[in-house]
């Protein structure tokens, strides 16, 4: 089965919406890494119902008028990836989770890295909100759309990202610990 696609402009750049039949199967970023999401042949179709509805709902989301999406989804991945993507769908608007929290929800604390890898391959970005997943110390972590897009999506949802650059934490004690690792001669009262 061919995949139909529609291009839309958004505050985070041009997005490619992809459907398989009457289900949304991917939202790709303007500068998405080739092969991050495996798809078959893509055919332009600006009139496919699910693509038009997804575009409408995304416009409402970007305008701050929508907090949940209601389009039929089809995830293509391993069973574990599908479990992680289902956990993403359960993260409420305006909240974040850490990779460890998701691993615990799935019943395996040791799967933190696997959760991160599955999160990075999430084919339906924004709707399956991988942007709501942050590092254990509150830092922003890698994001297929780029950290600027992650910050913007979190800001739309009212989540402050100040001091949350990649590798930069919001807990001053953790910052002090990080500085000590960089300079073992630095004294600390922690």
Radius of gyration of the chain (CA): 18
Name, in order, each residue with C-beta under 8 angstroms of 139's C-beta and a sequence gap of 6 or more.
164, 165, 166, 167, 168, 169, 170
Cα distances (angstroms) measured from residue 26 to each of 73, 108, 139: 9, 27, 26
Catalytic residues: 130
Measured in residues, the chain has a length of 190
Is the Cβ–Cβ distance between 8 and 58 less than 8 Å? yes
């Amino acid at each position: 089965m061919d995949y139909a696609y529609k291009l839309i402009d958004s505050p985070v750049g041009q997005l490619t919406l992809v459907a398989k039949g009457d289900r949304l199967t991917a939202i790709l970023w303007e500068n998405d890494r080739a092969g991050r999401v495996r798809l078959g042949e893509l055919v332009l179709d600006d009139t496919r119902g699910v693509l038009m509805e997804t575009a409408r709902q995304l416009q409402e989301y970007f305008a701050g008028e929508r907090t949940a999406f209601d389009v039929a989804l089809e995830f293509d991945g391993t069973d574990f990836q599908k479990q992680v993507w289902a956990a993403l769908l359960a993260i409420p608007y305006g909240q974040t989770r850490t990779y460890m929290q998701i691993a615990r929800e799935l019943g395996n604390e040791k799967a933190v890295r696997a959760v991160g890898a599955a999160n990075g391959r999430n084919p339906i970005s924004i709707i399956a909100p991988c942007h709501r997943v942050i590092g254990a110390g509150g830092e922003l972590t890698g994001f297929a759309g780029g950290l600027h897009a992650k910050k913007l999506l979190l800001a739309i949802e009212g989540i402050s990202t100040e001091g949350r650059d990649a590798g930069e934490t919001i807990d001053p004690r953790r910052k002090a610990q990080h500085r000590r690792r960089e300079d073992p001669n630095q004294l600390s009262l922690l």
